Amino acid sequence: MKIVFTADEPKGLDSAISYHFGHCPYFVVVDIEGDEIVRVQSIENPLAGEHAAGDLPSFMQSIGANVIVTGGMGPKAQQYFAEMGIQPVTGAYGKVGDVLKEVLGGRLKVAEQAPPPPPKPHEHHEGDERIERLQKEVVDLRRQIAEIKSLLLKLEEKLGGD
């Protein structure tokens, strides 16, 4: 099985999940055989800047994805994935490795309301530097949330094991 995660950074299982599949800068591709992770690869999103409807589902199909995991995705994109036999999973946040455990454990389900997508690229206007700074701060906050979630999961495992 091949599970693809949207990511804000190319750090494999330590990458923070990106909240919108269409504009994420990276994908983390995880190949699983049985219960074993056999390969983890971070790849750039070749369509992060601009793409037409259906381009990303077609790209996912071309790399052999069975599941796409992300923070949020519109209904039309979910329909494209379903038509191609790729299961979309939304509502994910945290580190890819932690979310992978949730997916494999059946604990992550399709969220009823996903986080909003990031702003789309636009023409240069006054205040763009502020917008760019805020966008970088959002990515940094997602990394911090991923770290906190990972620590909470480790604590939960430790307390559950006693």
| Domains of the chain, earliest start first | 2-116+124-161 (3.30.420.130)
Q: Is the pTM of this model over 0.85?
A: no
CB 54 within 8 A of CB 82: no
More confident residue, 130 or 86: 86
Is residue 125 over pLDDT 60?
A: no
Instruction: For residues 160 and 117, give the distance between their C-alpha atoms in angstroms, rounded to a whole number.
Output: 35
Is residue 113 over pLDDT 80?
A: no
pLDDT tens for 4-21 read: 999 999 999 999 999 878
Is residue 149 over pLDDT 90?
A: no
Is residue 3 over pLDDT 90?
A: yes
Which residue in the block uniquely carries the two structure tokens 């693809």? 4
Residue 8's pLDDT is 92
Average pLDDT of the chain, as a whole number: 82
Residue 162's pLDDT is 53
Instruction: For residues 21 and 16, give the distance between their C-alpha atoms in angstroms, rounded to a whole number.
Output: 13
Is residue 115 over pLDDT 50?
A: no
Residue 82's pLDDT is 86
